[in-house]
Structure 1
Amino acid sequence: MLLHTLNRLARYGMVLAACLCIIGLAGCGPAADVPDDGKLKVAVTFDALKEFTQAVGGDKVDVYTLIPDGTEPHEFQPTTQTIKHLGKSQLFVYSGLGMEPWAPKVVEAAKNTSLHTVNASQGVTPIALTDEEDVKEHGAYDPHIWLSLVNAQIEVSNIAAALAEADPANADYYRNNAANYKKQLQALQDEYARKFASVPRKDFVTGHAAFAYLCRDFGLTQHSVESVFSSGEPSARQLARLADYCRANDVRTIFVEDMVSPKTSETLAREVGARVETIHTIETSEDDESYLDRMRDNLEKIYASSLR
């Protein structure tokens, strides 16, 4: 426990040091490579927000993702390039609820008086964290709101309002696009609400506890190998308890997320005679698959696992 806490404090210190460093260096180096094509320049933090912004903004926006593909957002440390992109942007979209603790410092360092900033979590009913160490490091709430089709609609509405404020001439365009995209999100929600209503089991086992909001949407329960923030290693006792649960409940599938090491999940699966399936946290782009494609894949796999 002590080592786990020290590791977390070290990571927090690295992020804080990086923020302080980039504030000092924000005025140095070449300008960010942002195209001057007349479109609204929008910086977002990770892939799900990029997709929401593109769905709403259409051909009126250029969207740049600050966290590079393949980087775990919880571990991201901003750089001078992060600052420079915000310095050239007109809108900055972040997910909030502790997902991007560096965001206020980065906005301050950008010194961009024309930058509109939107916390896309506004209006979401958050799920409180229960682990004291997670609360100390990340804040009071689970930040994985975009993995809920209900919350995704709230984020889309917030993004549409921010785009309309930043670019009033195209406000109706943004609102119409948002309404159309929200209809697609709601249709997928309705489809799987009907499916999950009659399944014999309402739980699943996954690599880290990123799906609490999805579970709330559909009345499900997640059992996870690792915590909400996929940090540290589970103890032998925790793994033994989870293995006992899997055997007692005939769990045949252990899910693992695309951004988390599968080793522990694979070990658990071998021990209980289950298979490993990948589901998506949609923090980074994957094979040109859309948010809707990946959410459908997640829901279908969880649904299939609930039938046995």
Structure 2
Amino acid sequence: MFKKFMKFFSIIAIVLCFTSCEKASFKENTNEDNNEKIQVIVTFNPLKEFAMAIGKDKIEVKTLVPEGTEPHDFEPKIKDLKQIHNCKVFIYNGLNMESWLKKCKDSIDNKDIIFVDSSKNIDAIKINNSYDPHIWLSLLNAKIQANNIKEALIKVDSKNKDFYEKNYKDFSNNVDDLYNDYKEKFNTVENKKFVTGHAAFGYFCRDFGLEQNSIEDVFSSGEPSANKMKELIDYCKQNKIKTIFLEDMVSPKVSETLAKEVGAKTVKIYTIESKEDNKNYIESMKDNLEKVYKSLKK
């Protein structure tokens, strides 16, 4: 009888121990839930770069537009709308880069989401009846976009304001160092003209007093006409263009044809719309600046 009692007691002890461990585990998980990361959705890669630079381990970022897809060509699906509905902060480029945005907003009934227009306070370049949306390819604009993101994160998570402010300051200092370095370099070159496959570098040029000529316009309207091609060939010859820059999301065929016609080489340049060569924003922009600078040096 005593042995049976002890066996029963042992079973009860094990069950109580297991239950206690489960409760401890539940409390631990509950604590993790209370400290869970802020859910952030961005439309495409450069905004993710800025958000991660400011939010770091306090946030979890998901990119809405798949790699290799143009943000203005994207159409959100039901699963995308569900993701947006459950996030705290939704960051978009602005300037009609996301032409589908209004329809998307109208489909979301979560009024607590903070929608961040990263183009707020940027001096946009007007093109006909629209604006050039490629603002992130300017170092000066990147600071403004990052600041807009920082302000949104502080609004959601004010207790970590100092953390976000410090990260923004670090990012801003890195951008300033890169800008000042190449501002000085570009001031030393006489030729300020370069040629790209896609006219995405208007703000980049404005930062450094440069001039781009491109095969496709700002909105990637397709291959150039015969007349446009002749103009580009003449432009390259007159301005001694020895490099034609290629971008990942633009067909290289016409650029390669142009380069062959004028005796130039083709070189890759980053638009940063997708993650390229595993480089972060600063690394990609430094690579772009160095390549353009080398192409302009005598």
Corresponding residue for 2:66? Answer: 68
Pairing partner for 1:291 from 257, 281, 295: 281
User: Is 2:75 aligned against 1:77?
Assistant: yes
Contact persistence 1:86–1:107 (CA under 8 A): no
User: Which structure's CA Rg is the greater one?
Assistant: 2
**Corresponding residue number in structure 2 for 1:198:** 188
**1:99 lines up with 2:89 in the alignment:** no
Give the whole-Å Cα distance in 1 for the aligned partners of 2:251 and 2:61.
29
Q: For the residues of structure 2 that align with 1:160 and 1:249, how far apart are their CA atoms?
A: 42
SS at match of 2:126: coil
CA apart distance, 1:74: 2.4
For 2:109 and 2:176, the matched residues in 1 are separated by: 38
Q: Which residue of 2 aligns with 1:236?
A: 226
162, 187, 198: which one pairs with 1:172? 162
Q: 2:216 aligns with which of 223, 226, 237?
A: 226
Q: Secondary structure at the match of 1:110?
A: coil
Q: Give the drift of 1:104.
A: 2.4
Alignment of 1:203-222 (within 5 A): 203-222=193-212
Kept after mapping to 2: 8 A contact 1:92/1:118: yes
Q: Partner of 2:153 in structure 1?
A: 163
Residue of structure 1 in register with 2:246 after alignment: 256
For 1:21, the equivalent position in structure 2 comes to: none
Which letter does structure 2 place at the counterpart of 1:261?
Answer: S
Q: Aligned letter for 1:166?
A: V
Q: CA deviation at 1:54?
A: 0.3
Letter in 1 for 2:252: P
Give the 3-state SS of the residue equivalent to 1:199 in structure 2. Answer: coil
The alignment partner of 2:291 has SS state of helix
Q: Distance in 1 between matches of 2:121 and 2:254?
A: 36
| Mapped contact 1:45–1:95 kept (Cα < 8 A) | yes
Instruction: Check whether the contact 2:72–2:100 (CA below 8 A) recurs between aligned residues.
Output: no
Distance in 2 between residues matched to 1:239 and 1:75, nearest whole Å: 26
Task: Answer whether contact 2:72 2:99 (CA < 8 A) is retained.
Answer: no
Q: CA deviation at 1:232?
A: 2.1
Q: CA deviation at 1:48?
A: 0.4
Q: Is it true that 1:186 corresponds to 2:176 in the alignment?
A: yes
Give the paired residue count: 266
Give the secondary-structure state (helix, strand or coil) at the position aligned to 2:131: coil
Q: Read off the aligned partner of 1:76 and give its amino acid letter.
A: F
How far has the Cα of 1:107 moved from its partner? 2.2
Q: Helix, strand or coil: the match of 2:244?
A: strand
Q: AA paired with 2:98?
A: E
Give the Cα separation in 2 of the matches to 1:108 and 1:280.
Answer: 33
State whether structure 2 residue 101 is matched by structure 1 residue 111.
no
In the other structure, the counterpart of 2:9 is none
The alignment yields a C-alpha RMSD, in angstroms, of 1.3
Aligned position for 1:303: 293
Q: Report if the CA contact (8 A) 1:74-1:229 is conserved.
A: no
CA displacement at 1:287 relative to structure 2: 2.8
Measured after TM superposition, the shift of residue 86 of structure 1 is 0.4
Amino acid across the alignment from 2:146: V
**With structure 1 as the length reference, what TM-score do the two structures score?**
0.84
Alpha-carbon separation, structure 1, partners of 2:240 and 2:276: 31
Gaps of 5+ in 1: 1-34
Aligned to 1:20: none
Identify the residue that residue 31 of structure 1 maps to in structure 2.
none
2:262 is the counterpart of 1:272: yes
Q: Which amino acid aligns with 2:145?
A: E
Bigger mean CA offset, 167-176 vs 42-51: 167-176
Paired amino acid for 1:153? K
Q: Show CA shifts across 1:24-51 (max 9, x none).
A: xxxxxxxxxxx97710000001100001
* CA distance, structure 1, for counterparts of residue 205 and residue 276 of structure 2: 23
Give how far 1:171 is off.
1.6
Deviation at 1:230, TM superposition (A): 1.3
Quote the Cα distance in structure 2 between the aligned partners of 1:287 and 1:85. Answer: 27
Question: Does the CA contact (< 8 Å) of 1:39 and 1:62 recur in 2?
Answer: yes
Q: CA deviation at 1:252?
A: 0.6
Amino acid across the alignment from 1:108: D
Counterpart pick for 1:128 among 119, 122, 126:
126
The one-letter code matched in structure 1 to 2:52 is Q
Percent of aligned pairs sharing the same letter? 49
Task: Determine helix, strand or coil for the equivalent of 1:238.
Answer: helix
Stretches of structure 2 that go unaligned for 5 or more consecutive residues are 1-31
